[in-house]
Amino acid sequence: MSSQNGTSLETSPALLAQVAAAERFARTIVVAFGMCEETCAPLSDVQKIAVIEAALLEFDGLEAKLGSLTSIGEILRALGASPNGN
């Protein structure tokens, strides 16, 4: 993968997972707002902002969490592949 200025960008599994999660998160918020409007219980702008803020706070730190899980998986695979691994 490369950026617009020609430099190479590394695509990690954690980054790909974060992008996929962000897309699903955004889609979920849009669908939830739409359902509120369809059921005659629309949210005010202040309520929508509060929902988005809560979602962003939940989403914050996901990349680090996924990165640490990926690192742990790599370490465990390396241990399993070592001559002394069981």
What per-residue confidence (pLDDT) applies to 35?
A: 92
Query: pLDDT-based confidence at 7, cuts 50/70/90?
Result: very low
DSSP string, the chain: -B-TTS-B----HHHHHHHHHHHHHHHHHHHHHHHHHHTT-PPPHHHHHHHHHHHHHHHTTHHHHHHHHHHHHHHHHHHHHSTT--
Counted domains in the chain:
1
Question: Does residue 59 lie within any of the structural domains?
Answer: yes
Instruction: Look up the domain containing 24 and give its range.
Output: 13-81
What per-residue confidence (pLDDT) applies to 1?
A: 46
Question: Does residue 57 lie within any of the structural domains?
Answer: yes
Question: Does residue 86 lie within any of the structural domains?
Answer: no
pLDDT at position 22 over 80: yes
Question: Does residue 7 lie within any of the structural domains?
Answer: no
pTM: 0.52
Question: Does residue 3 lie within any of the structural domains?
Answer: no
The pLDDT tens digits of the residues spanning 29-85 come to 999 999 999 998 999 999 999 988 888 887 777 767 777 877 887 888 888 876 665
